[in-house]
Amino acid sequence: MNHLLQDAARLYAARAYQAAEAVCHAIVRDTPNHFDALHLLGVVLTLQERPEDALPYLHRAQAERPGHPQLQVNLGNALLATKRYQAAIEASQAADPQSLNNLGLAYKGLQQHEQAAEAFRRATALRFDYAPAWFNLATTLAKLHRLEDALQAAITAQRVAPLDTPVPRLAEITNEVGRILMDIGRPHDALAACRDFLTRHPGENTVIWNMSLCLLLLGDFQNGWRAYQHRFDIQDHDKRPEGATVLDITQVTGKRVLILSEQGRGDMLHCVRYAPLLAERGATVAVQTYPDLLPLLAAMPGVTSAVSTDDPRPPADFVTPVMSLPLAFGTHPANVPYLRVPPERRTLQFGPRRQQRIGLAWSGSPQSYDRSAIPAETLAPLLALPGYEFHCLQKEIAARDQAWLDIHRPPIVMHTRSLGDFADTAALIDQMDVIVSIDTAVAHLAGALAKPLNLLLPFNPDWRWMLGRTDSPWYPTARLFRQPSRGNWATAVQGVIAALPPPG
């Protein structure tokens, strides 16, 4: 039996996890209470991303040797992988760096970031060169908006990472350094960090992808768009669609071109502007898009046909993801308006116009809330202005905003029940005099319709708004109002107020 366990251990060390699993199963069949085999079987199953299968074996091992230190660590790993955070806390009570790191991850999973940070600090105090705890401390402090401390923790993780640390793990640390530098407002330093890493590890896609965001934010579109093509090589990103390519726009005359949606609705609305430009070059342009954008894009000038992402692709000679079109054209055209309200949706009737109508969007989808949303109450000084008519342009209202609206009852006309899709939103925007919006799909839609847009931007904006500008090369009718410092929406809102047309 010992020789079989030695075989399993040798296979585990060689990262031949499936083979190690088979040997451990053979041992456990003959000796069901074999602690080492049960323990190793749980480990290799977790490493094969099968933590649910691992847990029964780890619990059986725990029954054989309760409180075994390394078993508790590995049990914590499996519990974390299955998001059993409270159980992971109970399994991670030992005062060693690995257990404390798992304890921090469990608290982090429960959104208890203060407790998580304390656990990670305890782990680094016990073992200063324990890079995982420094990295996790950095990401947790960033969640708590303690960015300078987060940056120091991330840099420390870089410095103490062992020489044999896998390159993808080193890239993860570098990307966290870059993200924090961007949040602090140091994009040039973030770009330098990416470039320094790539001199030592060329071709690491995640770092190239993050470098592209720095380049685009800094206005280096030529290099930024080229690096941006690495987005499809990122694990958490959608994979490159079958047959998709960057167009050679000199070859599209007389060809059928299919534009595919990717990322969010705002991305699609932003870059579908190239569809009419392809049509001007003699292409027959089709679009495959999200169902809630379909009626709007089907009515778009230059688009011959539009189908849903739920439907099969139409035949095409060339297929391109929408966010690859800027690289193909090499320009950022301000060809607004490139969208129009479908005629059948022009049914809104507000009566005679007695006041300036202001359309409002202060939050978007739940996924984008942390990045760009502002609390509805931040708009209170704007909503207190007499002589204006305020209309809500967004479909979803966060619970905390709804509570504020219910208590204070500001003069906002709500349209949530009448907004079925983005064609309805376009029809509502079309009735407004001015749009006041955060960075969300509503803002892109207003810009694409060439409506006056006052855009509220966070201190670290999305790349497409660049830095320091009060205008946008994409949307000539937009004015940008930026946070002068992190969290300072009040100043940005006052800027919007000062820029409004006179009431009446």
pLDDT at 504: 67
Q: For the purposes of burial, counting CB atoms within 10 Å of the CB of 264, is it exposed (0-12), middle (13-18) or buried (19 or more)?
A: middle
Choices 3.20.20.70, 3.40.190.290, 2.40.70.10, 1.25.40.10: CATH for 2-232: 1.25.40.10
pLDDT at 369: 63
CA-to-CA separations, 279 to 146, 243, 259, 302, 445, in angstroms, rounded? 49, 21, 12, 5, 21
pLDDT at 417: 86
Give the span between the Cα atoms of 366 and 398, in whole angstroms.
Answer: 8
Give the span between the Cα atoms of 358 and 360, in whole angstroms.
Answer: 6
Q: Name 363's Cβ contacts closer than 8 Å, sequence gap at least 6.
A: 369, 372, 373, 374, 376, 394, 396, 397, 398, 401, 438, 440
Domains 2-232 and 354-499 share a fold: no
Say which CATH topology domain 354-499 has: Rossmann fold (3.40.50)
Give the span between the Cα atoms of 61 and 55, in whole angstroms.
Answer: 10
Give the span between the Cα atoms of 202 and 230, in whole angstroms.
Answer: 13
User: Domain residues of the chain, as ranges?
Assistant: 2-232, 249-329, 354-499
Strand partners, 244: 319
Note down pLDDT in tens along the chain; length 504 residues: 578 889 889 999 999 999 998 989 999 999 999 999 999 999 999 999 999 999 999 999 999 999 899 999 999 999 999 999 999 999 999 989 999 999 999 999 999 999 999 999 999 999 999 999 999 999 999 999 999 999 999 999 999 999 999 999 999 999 999 999 999 999 999 999 999 999 999 999 999 999 999 999 999 999 999 999 999 988 888 888 999 999 999 999 999 999 999 999 999 999 999 999 999 999 999 999 999 999 999 999 999 999 999 999 999 999 999 999 999 999 889 999 999 999 988 877 776 778 899 999 999 876 666 667 899 999 999 999 999 999 999 998 999 999 999 999 999 999 988 899 999 999 999 999 999 999 999 999 999 999 999 999 999 999 999 999 999 999 999 999 999 999 899 999 999 999 998 886
Give the span between the Cα atoms of 395 and 51, in whole angstroms.
Answer: 38
pLDDT at 298: 96
In one-letter notation, the amino acid at residue 129 is D
Instruction: Please count the other Cβ atoms lying within 10 Å of the Cβ belonging to residue 322.
Output: 23
pLDDT at 491: 97
- Only one residue has tokens 């080229």, namely 226
Q: Name 18's Cβ contacts closer than 8 Å, sequence gap at least 6.
A: 44, 48
Instruction: Please count the other Cβ atoms lying within 10 Å of the Cβ belonging to residue 365.
Output: 15
On whether the pTM is more than 0.85, the answer is: yes
Give the span between the Cα atoms of 263 and 383, in whole angstroms.
Answer: 33
The stretches of 110-246 forming alpha helices (DSSP H) are: 113-126, 131-143, 147-160, 167-184, 187-200, 205-217, 221-228
pLDDT at 502: 87
